[in-house]
Amino acid sequence: MELDDLKAAWTAHGAMLERGVAINERLLREVMLRKVRARLTPYVVWRALEVALGAVVLFAVMSVIAAHGGEPRYLVVGGPLAVFVGAATATSAYLLVHAVQLDYGGPVTGLQRAVAQLRAAEYRALKWALLGGVVFWLPAALVLFEALTGVDALARADLAWLVANLAFGVLVLAVGQAMSRKFVERADLSPWTRRVVDAVSGRALRLATGDLAELARFQREPAE
């Protein structure tokens, strides 16, 4: 066999190997992205349920406020509660929309960034839900009880007790927000705070992040 024939055969063999590697990479990408999509399906379902539940609670709160529109206690206490429930519902809707709109056909790095943004937003949503819950747990319990039974629970609650609970909740919210900004919501996270963010951002997002990191490492291997 002449040298030109050997070169042609070698070139053809190299092209065949490249096609085989490309096919394997494409198959791996498809398998891993299906896995990521499956990981995030329960997350999407839970966010949709949160939006539905938030809308029901917001409707109940607004109904009670409307029934007592002329009473200052319902406006002063129920108004901020309605804002809090509306904000929490809007946050769940934001997470739901962005989870549904993830681009599985684009670059893996872009998908990684989008999931990382979801994890950060999920942490902030949980933080405000917990801190806000400390502030509004008593008004929420009274207003929802009134919505279910028709009993004027908020009107009958002791005003000093109600104000004391709200003041304590605001204090906890301020301290919790300050600690979160100082120790968690920063670029240079310590290993401990990173584990905290991983824990509160949810199992689905954490597992999806790991799968995407594995896929990204595989795709970088040929270039190294």
Average pLDDT over residues 144-171: 90
Q: What is the pLDDT of residue 23?
A: 57
Is the CB of residue 201 less than 8 Å from the CB of residue 119? yes
Average pLDDT over residues 176-192: 75
Residue 222 is classified by DSSP as: G
Q: What is the pLDDT of residue 223?
A: 39
Query: Could you give the number of structural domains in the chain?
Result: 1
Is the CB of residue 208 less than 8 Å from the CB of residue 40? yes
Q: What is the pLDDT of residue 206?
A: 82
Q: What is the pLDDT of residue 224?
A: 39
Torsion from C-alpha of 79, 84, 90, 94, nearest 10 degrees:
160
Q: Look at residue 195 and tell me whether its pLDDT is greater than 50.
A: yes
Q: Look at residue 222 and tell me whether its pLDDT is greater than 50.
A: no
Q: Look at residue 158 and tell me whether its pLDDT is greater than 60.
A: yes
Q: Report the range of poorest mean pLDDT among 14-18, 93-97, 150-154.
A: 14-18
Residue range of the domain that includes 190: 3-223
Q: Which two tokens stand for residue 194?
A: 């990173």
pTM summary value: 0.78
CA 207 distance to own-chain centroid:
14
Q: Look at residue 4 and tell me whether its pLDDT is greater than 80.
A: no
Q: What is the pLDDT of residue 61?
A: 94
Average pLDDT over residues 131-139: 92
Angstrom distance (rounded) from CA 106 to CA 147: 47
More confident position, 122 or 2:
122
Tell me the pLDDT tens digit for each residue of 13-66: 555 665 655 555 666 677 788 888 888 999 999 999 999 999 999 999 999 999
Q: Which two tokens stand for residue 128?
A: 């405000």
Angstrom distance (rounded) from CA 218 to CA 155: 63
Helices (H), 68-158: 72-73, 79-100, 108-149, 153-156
Q: Which of 104, 125, 115 is nearest to 47 (CA)?
A: 125
Q: Which of 122, 101, 121 is nearest to 37 (CA)?
A: 101
Q: Look at residue 132 and tell me whether its pLDDT is greater than 50.
A: yes
Q: Report the range of poorest mean pLDDT among 4-8, 48-52, 162-166.
A: 4-8
